[in-house]
């Protein structure tokens, strides 16, 4: 199906991905785990649609999803890294497309793109608009007050000054407006809370080649991300509103040196300035909430300086080691620094068809920036969310068979000092970063990938993960009024033990017809729910199985102008199931119902 949100491309291909409350995706037992690198530059902003408008998958030329064995060049978030290269006019070759999509629940979208180039200048432009009557996961099986719409735009200019110098400017401007979903009680009161997210990003890069053995790449970058919560107009519901403005400015430079076939050395520095502005009001207005009314105004500037060096060395033919060190110095509401070692080893057997791999990585992860200031102000004892420090071990084997089929088995274990969580302020969708004193996550992942068998037109994938995630008190930061004592341990809210995904695609190349099926399974996440006597009971939400089906045809593929048609059925059984319960003070959230949609794409 057509993917509108960036997180939609993660779930089918990462075996540990767990869908959760408010459309969040958790990887390998991490709460806020996705880290997007755009043309080599990363930002602290959370890519999930509750926090930012997000990046459209349509502008991606290629993406490498990394969930373990992290080289030293990557920092800040370590559940899953999306290393994205954006589309360029040098590949578009004076072509473009127009896509129109429609579906039930007002799931309509439209986009246009065009790119071309001269001898030295490449240009690519993209614009998208979308809407949905089922924008966020809802606190009841039926939809009440959940409409959202948004637009995204992207432009990239590439300039080849000569054979050794390349310049690139990538620009984005995105926005979403959406209602906050209601319960039946909220709807009867007339609650009409609304949120507006905005984001603007610019990345300017220069790459210079020193012959064929070395290169330097330097980038200047900035981002403005904002979220405005408009309070409800009814006189009975909890009153909450506010504005968050996060500004990021930075400069990054990387130097690469290749010494024969044995060494690929890379070193770099990243200097980032963060300017956070937060204004919030909160009033329970007689509702049973244990948080007192407050008005908050926060202003804080800080940043991070990072340096790394790594070497991918091949001391002999079958053995490869990626060894590195990374230093991070961070200061916003809390300060800290760390020297992190990265050891990633791979040994090939059976003429390269079997590869054994092992990794030990130390992680230094500053807290998320969304609502960080108010979290630091209102946390237990005035303690701010803390920097997370982790030790991560991974080992596994990859085996390829007949050049089409690849099996991968991986086990991982991670121990955290200060484990991230988010807590919601009294069901008004203001989430603040929180840290538990300790965290632990471990699991086993199995995946199989069948590349397309050309004569049959078949390709497939299968993913399965068995994993656990635990967190231990006490808590720092956040809005929580749950007193978690020192040493008190429990499963994380995203602790889904069994997760599976599978897919099969068939293509008839002569006609351009194709059909695909995708399946997802989850064993359920933990929740605390009061029973009939009012006592709190810990249980697991029921397991779920989701089936999605897609069919389409690509016409006039050999002509300059082509036409693509697609029809989708998602959650074909129309089973609406409980996804997650963020805390005992917020309601359960439910999955989307059955979706029908279709799209038409004109290529020119």
Domains and CATH numbers, the chain: 6-603 (2.40.170.20)
Dihedral sign of CA atoms 103, 106, 107, 112 in order: positive
How far apart CA 447 and CA 462 sit, in angstroms, is 5
Residue 422 confidence (pLDDT) above 90: no
Task: Please list the residues that pair with 275 across neighbouring strands.
Answer: 247, 301
Residue 98, CB-side half-sphere exposure with 13 Å CA sphere: 3
Where are the strands (E) in 350-380, listed by range?
Answer: 354-365
Q: What is the chain's mean pLDDT, rounded?
A: 93
pLDDT digits (tens, 9 = 90+) for 209-257: 998 899 999 999 999 999 999 999 999 999 999 999 999 999 999 999 9
Residue 556 confidence (pLDDT) above 80: yes
Mean pLDDT of 115-130: 97
Say if CB 330 and CB 366 are below 8 A apart. yes
Backbone angles phi, psi at 232, to 5 degrees: -65, 150
Give the chain's end-to-end CA distance (angstroms, integer).
22
Mean pLDDT of 359-363: 97
How far apart CA 259 and CA 138 sit, in angstroms, is 55
What is the pLDDT, as a whole number, of residue 585? 67
How far apart CA 226 and CA 56 sit, in angstroms, is 18
Closest CA to 253 of 236, 277, 241, 271: 271
Residue 4 confidence (pLDDT) above 80: no
Q: Are strands 214-230 and 194-210 parallel, antiparallel or unpaired?
A: antiparallel
Cα dihedral 424, 425, 431, 433 in deg (nearest 10): -90
What is the pLDDT, as a whole number, of residue 571? 97
What is the pLDDT, as a whole number, of residue 83? 93
What is the pLDDT, as a whole number, of residue 484? 81
Mean pLDDT of 270-276: 98
How far apart CA 575 and CA 69 sit, in angstroms, is 37
How far apart CA 125 and CA 109 sit, in angstroms, is 17
355 vs 65, higher pLDDT: 355
How far apart CA 125 and CA 547 sit, in angstroms, is 35
Which residues does 383 contact at the CB level (< 8 Å), separation at least 6?
376, 476, 477
What is the pLDDT, as a whole number, of residue 34? 80
């Amino acid at each position: 199906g057509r993917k509108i949100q960036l997180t939609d491309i993660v779930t089918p291909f990462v075996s540990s991905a767990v869908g959760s409350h408010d459309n969040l995706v958790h990887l390998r037992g991490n709460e806020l785990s996705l880290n997007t690198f755009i043309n080599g530059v990363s930002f602290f902003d959370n890519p999930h649609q509750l926090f930012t408008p997000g990046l459209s998958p349509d502008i991606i030329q290629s993406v490498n999803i990394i969930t373990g064995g992290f080289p030293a060049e990557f920092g800040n978030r370590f559940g899953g890294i999306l290393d994205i290269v954006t589309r360029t006019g040098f590949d578009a070759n004076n072509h473009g497309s127009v896509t129109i999509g429609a579906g039930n629940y007002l799931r309509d979208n439209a986009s246009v793109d065009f790119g071309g180039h001269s001898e030295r200048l490449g240009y690519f432009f993209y614009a998208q608009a979308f809407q949905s009557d089922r924008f966020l996961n809802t606190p009841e099986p039926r939809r009440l007050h959940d409409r959202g719409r948004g637009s995204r735009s992207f432009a990239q200019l590439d300039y080849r000054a000569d054979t050794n110098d390349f310049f690139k400017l990538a620009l984005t401007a995105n926005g979403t407006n959406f209602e906050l979903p209601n319960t039946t009680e909220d709807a009867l009161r007339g609650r009409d809370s609304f949120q507006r997210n905005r984001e603007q990003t610019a990345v300017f890069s220069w790459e210079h080649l020193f012959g064929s053995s070395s290169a330097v790449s330097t980038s200047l970058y900035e981002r403005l991300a904002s979220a405005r919560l408009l309070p409800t107009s009814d006189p009975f519901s909890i009153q909450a509103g506010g504005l968050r403005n996060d500004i990021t400015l930075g400069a990054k430079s990387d130097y690469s040196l290749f010494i024969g076939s044995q060494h690929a050395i890379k070193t770099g520095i990243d200097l980032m300035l963060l300017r956070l502005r937060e204004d919030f009001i909160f009033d329970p207005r007689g509702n049973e909430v244990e948080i007192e009314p407050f008005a908050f105004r926060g202003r804080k500037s800080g940043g991070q300086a990072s340096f790394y060096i790594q070497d991918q060395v091949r001391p002999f033919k079958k053995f490869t080691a990626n060894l590195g060190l990374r230093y991070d110095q961070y200061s916003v509401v809390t300060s800290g620094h760390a020297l992190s070692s990265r050891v990633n080893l791979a040994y090939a057997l059976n003429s390269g068809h079997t590869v054994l791999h092992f990794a030990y990585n130390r992680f230094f992860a500053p807290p998320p920036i969304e609502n960080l200031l108010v979290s630091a102000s209102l946390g237990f004892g005035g303690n701010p969310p803390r920097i997370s420090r982790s030790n991560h071990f991974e080992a596994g084997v990859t085996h390829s068979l007949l050049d089409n089929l690849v099996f991968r088995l991986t086990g991982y274990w991670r121990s955290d000092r200060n484990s991230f969580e988010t807590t919601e302020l009294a069901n008004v969708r203001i989430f603040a970063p929180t840290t538990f004193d300790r965290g632990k996550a471990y699991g086993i992942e199995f995946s199989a990938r069948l590349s397309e068998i050309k004569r049959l037109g078949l390709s497939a994938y299968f993913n399965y993960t068995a994993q656990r995630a635990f967190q231990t008190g006490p808590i720092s930061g956040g809005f929580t009024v749950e007193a978690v004592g020192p040493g008190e341990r429990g499963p994380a809210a995203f602790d889904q033990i069994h997760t599976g995904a599978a897919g099969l695609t068939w293509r008839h190349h002569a006609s351009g017809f194709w059909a695909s099926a995708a399946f997802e399974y989850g064993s359920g996440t933990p929740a605390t729910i009061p029973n009939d006597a009012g006592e709190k009971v810990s249980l697991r939400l029921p397991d779920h199985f989701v089936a999605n089906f897609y069919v389409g045809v690509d016409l006039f593929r050999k002509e300059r102008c082509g036409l693509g048609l697609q029809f989708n059925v998602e959650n074909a059984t129309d089973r609406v199931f409980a996804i997650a319960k963020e805390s005992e003070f917020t309601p359960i959230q439910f999955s989307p119902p059955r979706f029908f949609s279709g799209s038409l794409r004109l290529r020119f």
